[in-house]
Structure 1
Amino acid sequence: MTTPKKQTEFLIEKMQPTWLENTRHKWLYRVAVGLISGLIFGLISGLKTDIKNRKIPNQGV
């Protein structure tokens, strides 16, 4: 599945998408990165919107 570019030490953070050999794996990689990015962006923007729209309850002053 992957071709290690003459590395003696395997580090997950050093893996490159160009090492994927067939187009199905490359497509799955792109879909996964897009979904994860979209989920993170959606979560952050949703939280910002929720915080922005919150009303402070009247303390009866």
Structure 2
Amino acid sequence: MNIIIKLSLKEWRKEKKITQKDLAIALSVSPNTILNWENSRSTPNVNQAIILADLLKVELEQIIF
């Protein structure tokens, strides 16, 4: 299953005042991975998308389709 982030991850992250580094630590990925997600160079896997939804306090359906 391909994960497609509907809205800008960067916008959500900044809205929640979460740094790339903090998000990377919470997801056990590098800050560069977060940067790549934000720039649509790569996408999170399903498990990472679930964690993102939880951290950003949004429904999973708001992140993926």
Larger radius of gyration: 1
Higher relative contact order (CA 8 A, sep 6+): 2
Q: TM-score, normalised by structure 1?
A: 0.25
Q: TM-score, normalised by structure 2?
A: 0.24
